[in-house]
Structure 1
């Protein structure tokens, strides 16, 4: 049995689906079901006894403690987090509550549970904290990529809250001996991503014939990681990672945002021809967001050298799979892109 937090979100649900596709080991899935947590992502597991879903908040330490005692997991995989930079700029308090206090409450509950395990189970137990490359700050055009020893210089309320949670995880290993693992990943993309993030937002707006909002000059650079590759990396870290260690997980796909948008538009032209207007013509540059980091890049050699993991998808293959999935699941997109999400888009982009 493993316990997964945030398993109805984008990366978390992909991980749960991937885990149960390749293993009969059950998953207890704890998710608060905020705007980005979507039970639709897990509909294929309906009636599957290997998947136990619990709606709840990671800040609720008593709930987490009860789930640990009742289910006796051998590992915790901690995805649950507020993760959108723009939202953190408008409302940082939710990010501090979930990412910092929530991780603290998780660590406290897990430490108490782990301390009471028999020695053999105690030695085998793992707490895997899934984090982001944004904790490292912003790179210049010629700076070397982020490594596991790059100093933390977070620049947004989101990345600062994740940096704080990373430090707590590290401290609980070094102070209490809790067998923790931390992964810092680059920008994920793929199925089930909430359409506030760049790639699904562009797909959704393009098929509707709406303007495609691009921050600043579109030359902010990110490393892009297909979510299926990320899930494989997490499995490998959980299996063989050394307690107390951090592993950077990247896709070796460093690209400017505008090139991503062009790639999506060109795939849509191929897969969904005859739009009301040429997709590239919908590109609209808008005022940049405050403190927008210019470049991220991940040096993922440590995880390859120590654990033998390397991404299988190139950006060319991964983005094709992604666009095809969204076109085949338009009803899913439309369901999640209603209500509160529409209000958010209006708030974030109407003034730019």
Structure 2
């Protein structure tokens, strides 16, 4: 296949591109605007492969998308381009509406126009795979808030949508658009919703890379509220394998939830990072002494947890990494790639807290 990957210079997108080039005979057209979170350094290992091509294009630019489709003639689309940081969405929701909703609409229309002109065989084989998040479902009962474990439900593919943040609301909207383009126009779409990703090449505004880098520099390790928010952690390379499997073997019109089987409280994640660093990069004091508690994020979801039995049952995918093995690999990667971390921050972001405008207005910060 020739696969058009949007957002291929981002965290998950670059993992998908590397997986395809390194593990299949398929070709990739990477379409990325190169915003702050997109970095071509994440693709140095594959950039010279003849099966890889890069196009710096905004998915909101219909004319440029039409050109890319016409020149490269892809057999499938994997749509990962998105604004994805909740804290940034609180401060500046407009970018999330533009990229995640308007951009997805524009891409769907460009794809539909291209798809309509294909031969019958190519139309039948074509796939549009939309990659989304478990955050569209809102949050789940927390162990501290229920009487027994029977109430601790999981997100399934039919869980009603109840997004809490501008980010998750924009992703929920994009999911609805993708399904509507299947129902109304027949465009062969598939949707996946994943749990929290972690691993190499993650922009350091997110929890795990931020804590690793702050710890190494002796800075505070900020924990929102009591740190009891629960997330299901998925190693990004496991996710990339799952996404390709869905594209290749998934059924049109289906949704597949992808989780890591690793529910952890945020505080537990920070503490585990500290313990590993104590062994790998020991210093006179314990890294846990750098933990500080800060005012919680507005509307912070309490718990996410994915039921990924459908993709396991129907497509045979399961994660290879446990949280312990994946986290150790992640920390070792950051220790070996501090220059990459410095380059991607590029002076515009120094791991300061984002999304605090509401808290400042309410006098909480």
Alignment TM class, shorter chain as reference: over 0.9
The reply on whether 1:182 has 2:191 as its aligned counterpart is yes
Per-residue CA distance 1:177-224 (angstroms, 9 max, x = gap): 111010000000000000000000000000000000110000000000
Residues 87 and 354, structure 2, Cα contact 8 Å, conserved in 1 = no
DSSP-derived class of the 1:52 partner: strand
DSSP-derived class of the 2:293 partner: strand
Per-residue CA distance 1:117-142 (angstroms, 9 max, x = gap): 11111100000000000000011123
DSSP-derived class of the 1:95 partner: helix
Consecutive unaligned residues of structure 2, counting only runs of 5 or more, are 143-150
Distance 1:44 1:267 in 2: 28
Tell me the matched-pair count: 350
CA RMSD of aligned residues (A): 1.3
Q: Who is 2:85 aligned against? A: 84
DSSP-derived class of the 1:77 partner: strand
Q: Who is 2:330 aligned against? A: 322
The reply on whether 1:166 has 2:167 as its aligned counterpart is no
The reply on whether 1:345 has 2:352 as its aligned counterpart is yes
Consecutive unaligned residues of structure 1, counting only runs of 5 or more, are none
Q: How does 1:229-308 map to 2 (within 5 A)?
A: 229-274=238-283, 277-308=285-316
Runs of 4+ aligned residues of structure 1 deviating over 6 Å after TM superposition are none
How high is the TM-score relative to the length of structure 2? 0.94
Distance 2:242 2:310 in 1: 12
Distance 1:148 1:253 in 2: 18
Structure-2 change in CA distance of 1:235 and 1:347 (3 Å):
closer
Distance 2:237 2:260 in 1: 11
Task: Give the C-alpha shift of residue 346 in structure 1.
Answer: 5.3
Distance 1:272 1:124 in 2: 51
Task: Give the C-alpha shift of residue 44 in structure 1.
Answer: 1.8
How high is the TM-score relative to the length of structure 1? 0.97
DSSP-derived class of the 1:285 partner: strand
Q: Who is 1:114 aligned against? A: 115
Q: Who is 1:311 aligned against? A: 319
Task: Give the C-alpha shift of residue 151 in structure 1.
Answer: 0.2
Distance 1:53 1:332 in 2: 20
